[in-house]
Amino acid sequence: MSSVSIAAAERVGIDLGERSYPIVIGPGLLADPASYADLPASATALVVTNTTVAPLYAQAVCGALGERFRSVRVLELPDGEAHKNWETLNLIFDALLGHGADRKTVLFALGGGVVGDVTGFAAACYMRGVPFVQLPTTLLAQVDSSVGGKTAINHPLGKNMVGAFYQPRLVLCDLDTLQTLPQREIAAGLAEIIKYGPIADMAFLDWIEANIDALVARDASALAHAVRRSCEIKAAVVGQDERESGLRAILNFGHTFGHAIESGLGYGEWLHGEAVGCGMVMAAHLSEKLGGVDIAFVRRLTALIERAGLPVRAPDLGAERYLSLMRLDKKSEAGEIRFVVIDTPGSAVMRPAPDALVRQVLAECCA
């Protein structure tokens, strides 16, 4: 059996002591048995995926896992953010218990961020924790959600409100899977890639600007670089602050506004990445009002987000509704909303902002 794919792949390490793991990035990884060679020994595997991804990739994954596991089963969840909930989580527990899964059973999350977050949470809970592997198949999942161990489901009152920090044993970013993504999902992933520039690496922002057309067109080498650099930045941040006691919050740039858009419109109306893209425009405006960046920077970031194919005008939910939704954000303390803002290009901080300034931002950014 050939293992050219894994040998040629790039690796980014995430350093978390005994919970460290590799993020492997390259083409042809899912179907290569060598990709899974270092996983803990176990007889059984459950591949959790969804009705869209299963017909595309489940057979290839099961073929490769069949060389290592005696029993490999597939569970297809319903597709979509609207299904990131208790009912879907329970389907995983039903399957695990129904198949007699034990403490060594390995869960494989094959899909985008929704499958990854729900499967990771199931792995954290089942028998108080079983090993799991992230097999992200969206750009957003490869550059963000599969890395760092945040797992969750949504609550009708707030996004990702019920979950756990629980690290995977391995992340395999098979770049070939990006070729079957709808274009809207490519744009959604680009939002999280762009995010890393203003918060951590202005040279990367310059590179994204120079290569945005290639990224939108799915140029393989541009995507490979963007995935690797994004994973490096995320791994470095998570390595310093796994449980978000401080620094990790910068990865939420644009998310306070973005989560309000997602839950305010109803989950699934706007894609998560679309809401984050627009949320970054709003957070950039707030950063400007707080003195961290100038208006030229806000315009530059807005133009890039628009070129990625993302919305830059926010839905008009009304200022009161935005404020009440944002008070539910996980970063809020005692009802005070805390925003991630740029304090200088390439660096972000978390801080509260006067309601009056937030209202100005909403007035400027809402359609």
Region binding ligand NAD by CB under 6 A among candidate stretches 122-130, 180-188, 323-331, 351-359: 180-188
Among 26, 112, 279, 292, binds ligand NAD (CB under 6 A): 112
For residues 92 and 117, the answer to whether their CB atoms sit within 8 Å is: no
* CA nearest to 169, candidates 212, 125, 134: 134
Shortest reach from residue 149's CB to ligand GLY, in Å: 8
Nearer to ligand GLY by C-beta: 27 or 116?
116
Instruction: Among 42, 137, 252, 287, indicate the residue that binds ligand NAD (CB under 6 A).
Output: 137
Name, in order, each residue with C-beta under 8 angstroms of 97's C-beta and a sequence gap of 6 or more. Answer: none
For 50, half-sphere exposure in the C-beta direction (CA atoms, 13 angstrom radius) is 23
Name the binder of 138 from ligand NAD, ligand GLY, none, CB < 5-8 A by kind: ligand NAD
Cβ atoms of 146 and 82 within 8 Å: the answer is no
Which pair of tokens denotes residue 330?
Answer: 């996980």
272 a catalytic residue: yes
Question: Catalytic annotation on 128?
Answer: yes
Q: Per rule CB under 6 A, is residue 248 in the interface with ligand GLY?
A: yes
Helix (H) or strand (E) holding 200: helix 183-200
Return the residue matching tokens 């839905």: 315
- How does DSSP classify residue 10? E
160 binds ligand NAD (CB under 6 A): yes
Rounded CA-CA distance 215/328 in Å is 34
Q: With contacts defined by CB under 6 A, name the span among 3-11, 141-149, 313-321, 329-337 that binds ligand NAD.
A: 141-149
50 lies in the site for ligand NAD, by CB under 6 A: yes
251 is an interface residue for ligand GLY by CB under 6 A: yes
Residue nearest to ligand GLY (CB): 251
Picked from ligand NAD, ligand GLY, none, the partner binding residue 112 (CB below 5 to 8 A depending on kind) is: ligand NAD
Residue closer to ligand GLY (CB basis): 101 or 276: 276
Place of tokens 């400027």: 364
Q: Does 146 bind ligand GLY (CB under 6 A)?
A: no
* 148 makes contact with ligand GLY (CB under 6 A): yes
Give the Cα separation of 204 and 197 in Å (integer): 5
Residue 248 interaction partner, one of ligand GLY, ligand NAD, none, beta carbon < 5-8 Å per kind: ligand GLY
Distance of closest approach, residue 78 Cβ to ligand NAD, in angstroms:
10
Annotation says 333 is catalytic? no
SS3 call for 335: coil
Stretch that binds ligand GLY, among 55-63, 142-150, 177-185, 288-296 (CB under 6 A): 142-150
Binding window for ligand NAD (CB under 6 A); candidates: 51-59, 217-225, 338-346, 355-363: 51-59
Residues 6+ apart with CB under 8 A from 256: 279, 283, 326, 329, 331, 337, 338, 339, 340
Count Cα neighbours of 6 within 13 Å in the Cβ-side half-sphere: 18
Amino acid (one-letter) located at 58: A
Q: Supply 72's token pair.
A: 């490999």
Size of the site for ligand NAD (CB under 6 A): 29
Q: Give least dist CB 252 to ligand GLY, A.
A: 6
Comparing CA positions, the residue from 282, 249, 246, 251 lying closest to residue 264 is 282
Interface with ligand NAD by CB under 6 A: which residues?
50, 52-53, 56, 79, 81, 84, 111-115, 117, 137-138, 140-141, 144-145, 148, 150, 160, 177, 180-181, 185, 188, 272-273
